[in-house]
Amino acid sequence: MPLHLGVNIDHIATLRQARYRTMLGAHNVEPSILQAAQEVEAAGAHSITIHLRGDRRHIVDDDVFLLRREIRTLLNLEMGNTAEILEIALRVRPDFVCMVPENREEVTTEGGLNVAGQKEALKASVSALETNGTRVSMFIDPDLEQVQASKEVGASMIELHTGTFANEQGDQRQVEALRLREAAELAHRLGLQVNAGHGLTTKNLPDLFIVPHLAELNIGHSIVARSVFVGLRRAVQEMLAAMKSYPQV
């Protein structure tokens, strides 16, 4: 199966919130999160990713329900493991949930979730979501203990955090790629779907492609940044074209 692309459109909402945070019901609010999702769909992406944060800094509750109702592709909801957001996820029933760490001062997610350190709390949430029809992923660093813990809490998938890989160059990037490969191989042996994301661009993707068993990449910032110059649909299409060289096992 070809490598799939999930497009994170949080930064479309970031741009909207820069002006309209306190007046989302106004008639002239832009850019439209739904229109962005529709452009991504039209470009051929396989899923839409959004992160509903506790502080609602970009995506807000209404966005989640609107997209669940209107999009034709799959919906991937990133979330911290809190009772408030879990209750929303159970109501929305996204196709996927990705459990992520959430720190109030960070600009974007800065590292993987410590699954091994909170297994009991995660087990309960994973069970509730999976029983409700939502497949659950753990966003983790390429650490074998975290891969094993993801299996133990009942997750169907992992998403490997590629931020360190993306920030390195040369030999050190290759070291990180080997860590990602080892984690992916273990996850595959455990029966977990392997996704990856954070900091990925059309330029660094070739270095990632030594990692086997990848099913989906979740990419946001690079695509939205590129869209400033060429439009969202073309930016997605460029990423999809870059992904075609991923070797199929």
Tell me which residues are annotated as active site.
51, 78, 198
Burial of 23 (0-12, 13-18, 19+ CB in 10 A): exposed
Burial of 166 (0-12, 13-18, 19+ CB in 10 A): buried
| Of the candidates 78, 72, 12, 74, the residue with the CA atom closest to the CA atom of residue 48 | 74
How far, in Å, CA of 37 to CA of 69, rounded?
A: 12
| Of the candidates 106, 171, 182, 98, the residue with the CA atom closest to the CA atom of residue 142 | 182
